[in-house]
Amino acid sequence: MAFGPSSTPSPVPAGIPCWIELACREQAVAERFYGALFGWEYTTQRDPATSDGRYSIATLNTVPVGGLYRAAQGAPLGWMPHISVPHTASAAEWVEHLGGRITLGPVPIPDRGTILHAFDACGAPVVFWEVPPNWEFVTGIPNTFSGADLNTHDGVAADHFYTKLFTYASHQIGDGEALDYVEWLIEHEPVLYRYVMGSEYSLDTPPHWLVYFDIDPARGVDAVAGESLMHGGTVVIQPYDTPFGRMSILADPEGAVFAVIDHSRVAEGWGRAEVDDPYDD
């Protein structure tokens, strides 16, 4: 698709993850956990889109790395990436045209641009953000955002929705059958991934995003998994090796699932992961 020209050039190209945030029940509990695990500090801002009008900006060495807020009753919980768009109004039209559903917005956020909450065509929640020119979001260093998977039961619907919305190229990196794992690319660079949930998930597991955080090789994924237990979290999947690095899937004290990865520990094949469905109550 092609959005119309923006009056103010965006600092983030369309289709790039430009933010991550956690929708939680008890904000103070989440802040303590991630502060202890990743060394984050927090500042609170006013936000008309949240249930209590408050929004915490997580920072690492004073630079923003993500956000946390208390979710409204019945709203989806957990980590979610935000994807950059030049115009949220145009994005809203295209989301509906491609089979998605708008749930909030577009809503202007003071000093932080405009957001649009939606469900995509396969039923996963997603946020689109028209960011301001002075946007800051640090990634790719230890204790910050590393990437995200969209886990879905309908890979065809997900691929169609996002490749039409952002003109992503789609490349299968699994075998397409036993492992249906696709990377979405812009100019030959992967920006997001899509995974069709296998037998490790129950059929009623809702579509969801899995957000990854970079881990310092000197610290290691195994140590981080152990520390998460000490701070009240859960190890959903024990550390194992992958072609992308050594990783583990964890959950915070409220059950929000996320992944940690050390990209220096690359394996030629996939290690054995003892998997339990984190969304199975």
Instruction: Write out the two tokens for 83.
Output: 């994807």
Instruction: Write out the two tokens for 26.
Output: 């008890």
Q: Please check whether residue 87 is in contact with residue 10, taking contact to mean a CB–CB distance below 8 angstroms.
A: no
CATH of domain 17-130: 3.10.180.10
b/e map 265-276, b = 16+ CB within 10 Å: beeeeeeebeee
Q: What pLDDT score was predicted for residue 10?
A: 53
Distance, CA of 69 to CA of 81 (rounded, Å): 14
Q: What pLDDT score was predicted for residue 73?
A: 82
Q: What pLDDT score was predicted for residue 142?
A: 96
Q: How many CA atoms lie within 13 A of 233 on its CB side?
A: 29
Distant-in-sequence, close-in-space partners of 95: CB < 8 Å, separation ≥ 6: 101, 102, 116, 118, 120, 128, 165
Q: What pLDDT score was predicted for residue 71?
A: 86
Q: What pLDDT score was predicted for residue 46?
A: 76
Tens-digit pLDDT profile for the chain (281 aa)? 333 333 334 578 899 999 999 999 999 999 999 999 999 999 988 776 666 778 899 999 999 999 999 888 877 789 999 999 999 999 999 999 999 999 988 988 888 889 999 999 999 999 999 999 888 999 989 999 999 999 999 999 999 999 999 989 999 988 888 889 999 999 999 999 999 998 888 888 999 999 999 999 999 999 999 999 999 999 999 999 998 999 999 999 999 999 999 999 887 665 444 444 445 54
Q: What pLDDT score was predicted for residue 175?
A: 85
CATH 3.10.180.10 domain locations along the chain: 17-130, 145-262
The secondary structure of 64-104 as a DSSP string is EEEEEEEPPTTS--EEEEEEE-S-HHHHHHHHHHTT-EEEE
Q: What pLDDT score was predicted for residue 277?
A: 46
User: Which residue is it, tokens 């995509």?
Assistant: 120
Q: How many residues does the chain have?
A: 281
pTM, two decimals, is: 0.89
Domain covering 145-262, topology: 2,3-Dihydroxybiphenyl 1,2-Dioxygenase; domain 1 (3.10.180)
Q: At what angle do helices 27-38 and 221-230 cross, to 10 degrees?
A: 140
